[in-house]
Structure 1
Amino acid sequence: MGGSKISIRENLELINERIAAASSKAGRSDDIQLIAVTKTIDLGRIREAIEAGATDIGENKVQELSDKMKSLGTAARYHMIGHLQTNKVKYIADSVHLIHSLDRLSLAEEINKRAKKIGRIIDVLIQVNVSGEDTKFGISPAEAIPFIESALKYDSLKIKGLMTIAPFVEEESILRRTFSGLYELGERIKTNSYKEIDFQYLSMGMTNDFEIAIEEGSNMVRVGTGIFGKRNY
């Protein structure tokens, strides 16, 4: 069946309205950062989103992110939101705005090495597997503080917060438990007052659950389908 053409501008406006409503419902006045997830999305549609006000785009794969950074230049800020292989860091080190998926010290060492080589500080989030699912990457909540303390020696990366991916379920209680778990972990980390950490972001929530994530403390959401629509292939 045919249908009306997806309006990326209208979708983006609607997502921003929903973000504002969820923030208001939670009694929050801070800014919520929207990352437009552009996995499999062509450059023309990404440019349409940028023209409609999207400032940040996120990619799951290094090759796609690298290609889009080269094509779009300074039109947006670029986020690596998927699992990052150590040998792929070199392809994005010079231009990535934020890496959401730091989950092992070997990766921290490589990010630090590449950042030092080009004379920049690379901002990162620690990926935490709050739900404990075997299919998800990330360190366990119990490992987070020891991991952070081990990573502090790498002075060419800056830890900016935490990221998690919730289970793909409809049960709201499970989603809330996952998101609140990351929020509570973030609050515990803040009490340690690490001077090397600039704790700004909790990256959690995607198209199907970002409103719940915001109510539980997220200030960075990653939305793809809600902006670009579902692909038919």
Structure 2
Amino acid sequence: MSIQTNLQTIRERMNAACRRVNRNPEDVQLVAVSKTKPADMIEAAAAAGQSLFGENYVQEFLTKTEDVTVPVVWHFIGSLQSNKVKYLCGKVAMIHSVDRLSLAKEIDRQWGKSGETAQILIQVNLGQEESKSGTEEAALEDLVRKVAALPHIRICGLMALPPYLDDPEQVRPFFRRLRQLADMLAALNIPGVEMRELSMGMSHDFDVAIEEGATLVRVGSAIFGSRY
């Protein structure tokens, strides 16, 4: 199967999921997760109409920004160390994985140098998994309030990486919970906070994530094939 065919299949599934719950397909964006994939595969996806790509590793991302010659939009979706934030400034449109105040402060500092505002999502660890990043639910509101007070950051929504379960229906409660948390935060009307984006859902469960309100679905293997 070609990347073009894979993308067409995914878009059809996305549209179908939107129709099932009366959502506008234009309200959901596909983030093509291109970690470990070479520049020529990214350019093939771009030629097939995909414009938004997500990267997980800073060093790999920096190499790709030089190798990919077509205009694309980059999101950083992986776990991020504060000492590597400076390499992303001016290169990514959004960071999905902000899970602690110290990281947010460094993003604020680096973006502030150029007078820009970073678009970020707060990552929530819904499954309370030690192997995954993300703030705990109980600490979410406090973190959001503190991050929102930073002058060069705009909180655009939430991100989650729920437990991997073979049956997507078993993941649905986690997606629903993230939507509920976003609604709760939106109702607080905190300055500098929007809850317009929900980054959730991957190759095997993005249909369910869309049904539960995802606006950004992060799909890699279903586009590019298995990792290598």
- Specify if TM > 0.5: yes
5 Å-filtered alignment, 1:24-173, equals 24-29=19-24, 31-72=27-68, 75-173=71-169
* Sequence identity percentage: 40
State the AA in 2 paired with 1:62.
Answer: V
State the AA in 2 paired with 1:131.
Answer: G
**Is 1:20 paired with 2:34?**
no
Q: Distance in 1 between matches of 2:47 and 2:71?
A: 9
Which runs of 4 or more aligned residues in structure 1 lie more than 6 Å from their structure 2 counterparts after TM superposition?
none
What corresponds to 1:3 in structure 2? none
Q: CA deviation at 1:69?
A: 2.0
- How many aligned positions are there? 227
Relative to structure 1, the CA distance from residue 209 to residue 172 in structure 2 (aligned partners, 3 Å threshold; closer, same or farther) is closer
TM-score using structure 1 length: 0.94
Q: Distance in 1 between matches of 2:92 and 2:63?
A: 12
Q: Distance in 2 between matches of 1:152 and 1:70?
A: 32
Instruction: Supply the RMSD in Å over aligned alpha carbons.
Output: 1.3
Q: CA deviation at 1:68?
A: 1.6
Q: Distance in 1 between matches of 2:125 and 2:99?
A: 9
Q: CA deviation at 1:171?
A: 3.6
Q: Is the 8 A contact 1:22 1:214 kept in 2?
A: yes
Q: Is the 8 A contact 1:161 1:200 kept in 2?
A: yes
Q: Pick from 215, 222, 225: which aligns with 1:226? A: 222
SS at match of 2:50: coil
Flag structure 2 segments of 5+ consecutive residues without an equivalent: none
Q: Pick from 180, 191, 195: which aligns with 1:199? A: 195
Relative to structure 1, the CA distance from residue 7 to residue 90 in structure 2 (aligned partners, 3 Å threshold; closer, same or farther) is same
TM-score using structure 2 length: 0.96
What corresponds to 2:6 in structure 1? 11
Q: Distance in 1 between matches of 2:217 and 2:209?
A: 8
Q: CA deviation at 1:21?
A: 0.3
- Which string of whole-angstrom CA distances, capped at 9 and with x for unpartnered residues, describes residues 121-146 of structure 1? 11000000011111110001121111
Q: Distance in 1 between matches of 2:146 and 2:76?
A: 22
State the AA in 1 paired with 2:109.
Answer: K
Q: Is the 8 A contact 1:105 1:151 kept in 2?
A: yes
- Which string of whole-angstrom CA distances, capped at 9 and with x for unpartnered residues, describes residues 56-113 of structure 1? 1001101111222233366111111000000000111111110000000000000000
SS at match of 2:204: coil
